[in-house]
Amino acid sequence: MASTAPGAPQTHIPLPGDGLHAARMPGHWLLARLGKRVLRPGGVELTRWMLDTLGVDPEERVVELAAGLGATARLTLTRHPAAYTAVDRDPAAVAALSALATPGPTVVRAVRSDAADTGLPDGGATVVYGEAMLTMQPEPAKRRVVREARRLLDDSTGRYAIHELCLLPDDLDPALADRITADLGEAIHVGARPLAPTGWCELLAEEGFTVTAHRTAPMALLEPRRLIADEGLLPALRITGRALRDPAALRRVLHMRRVFHRHRTHLGAISLIAVPTPTEH
């Protein structure tokens, strides 16, 4: 496990996927290369709800799993927790995260490690969250990450949150769910395995958590209104301009958007807040 001290001088910080052709790279890396910074299925609005409901304050010790390029990290740091640790296995992401700075006393660090095996101490966090990463894992890997979050949390004050894709409704026909999953994987070049809301709740319950709150939102990642809401008008225009100048990237983005739109009735975003379930003695 390697860590990079915050505030270290940075020159060029590469983005994940640098050097890969647009036709082959994972969809979220392609969007990041075009300048998109909010890569969460429910957008910044659902992320803000998640942080508000977690109640992050200056007493918290926060761990973010698979922190990516730091969009949520920046929102968290405006709440001035006592400590913030970003975990990501991609060296480019760790380099970007380690460059984050915050006024005030927050201790910020970035750790290059796996979300299922962070190497961080037992019970050292009061808040752990992860976004848009469990969806991409098969079930055994999902469970390992949730188990690791449980290990990291303080038993008495700990809270855990996720923000993921979900399938709707709970009783969605399994054959249709399989078709949606296959279409997503083909479009984004990553194996996406979203669960229905009840499935997400059951996963957390089976790994030692009690869900205390949840919210769903439309999965509108590439819709113009969401793009502007998440990124701002000028950044959204720059992202669009970059895509228009790169035919391979434009084909990929339009294909992803068509798949999201085709399945819009059955695809959503969900955030759940949970606390460790008390153990019986």
- For 219-237, the pLDDT digits (tens) are 999 999 999 999 999 999 9
Give tens-digit pLDDT for 67-105.
988 899 999 999 999 999 999 998 888 888 888 876 678
Residue 130 pLDDT grade (very low, low, confident, very high; cuts 50, 70, 90) = very high
pLDDT more than 90, % of the chain: 74
The CA distance from 241 to 234, in Å, is 10
Determine the distance from the C-alpha atom of residue 251 to the mean position of all C-alpha atoms in its chain, rounded to a whole number. Answer: 24
What pLDDT is attached to residue 5? 36
Tell me whether residue 14 is in a domain. no
d(CA 161, CA 159): 7
CATH number at residue 205: 3.40.50.150
In a domain, 1, yes or no: no
Rounded to whole angstroms, how far apart are CA atoms 131 and 64? 9
How many structural domains is the chain composed of? Answer: 1
Q: E strands within 139-254? A: 159-167, 209-218
Residue 191 pLDDT level (bands cut at 50, 70, 90): confident
Q: Are 192 and 185 in contact (CB under 8 A)?
A: yes
> In the 8-state DSSP scheme, what is residue 141?
H
Pairwise CA distance, residues 281 & 175, whole Å: 43
pLDDT of res. 226: 93
- pLDDT grade, residue 3 (50/70/90)? very low
Token pair in block for residue 162? 């996720």
Classify residue 23: in a domain, yes or no.
no
Residues 115 and 181: their CA atoms lie apart, in Å, by: 23
Phi, psi for residue 185 in degrees, rounded to 5: -60, -40
Whether 28 is covered by a domain: the verdict is no
pLDDT higher than threshold 70 for residue 185: yes
Does any domain span residue 136? yes
Q: Of the ranges 46-50, 93-97, 146-150, 274-278, which one carries the lowest mean pLDDT score?
A: 93-97
pLDDT higher at 220 or 10: 220
pLDDT at 27 over 90: no
Q: Is residue 134 part of a domain?
A: yes
Residue 76 lies in a domain: yes
Distances (CA, A) of 140 to 44, 161, 169, 263: 28, 19, 23, 26
Contact 195, 167 (CB under 8 A): yes
Per-residue pLDDT at 17: 56
Q: How many C-beta neighbours within 10 Å does residue 45 have? A: 16
CB-based burial label for 148 (10 Å; 0-12, 13-18, 19+): buried
pLDDT at 12: 46
Query: Which residue type, as a one-letter code, is found at position 104?
Result: G
d(Cα 167, Cα 180) in Å, to the nearest integer?
Answer: 9
164 domain residue, yes or no: yes
Q: What is the pLDDT of residues 147-177, one digit of tens each?
A: 999 999 998 899 999 999 999 999 999 999 9
Query: Whole-prediction pTM value?
Result: 0.89
Instruction: Give yes or no for a contact between 67 and 251, defined as CB atoms under 8 angstroms apart.
Output: no
Q: How many residues does the chain have?
A: 281
- Residue 212 is part of which domain span? 39-220+266-276
CA dihedral 268, 173, 27, 114 (to 10 degrees): 90
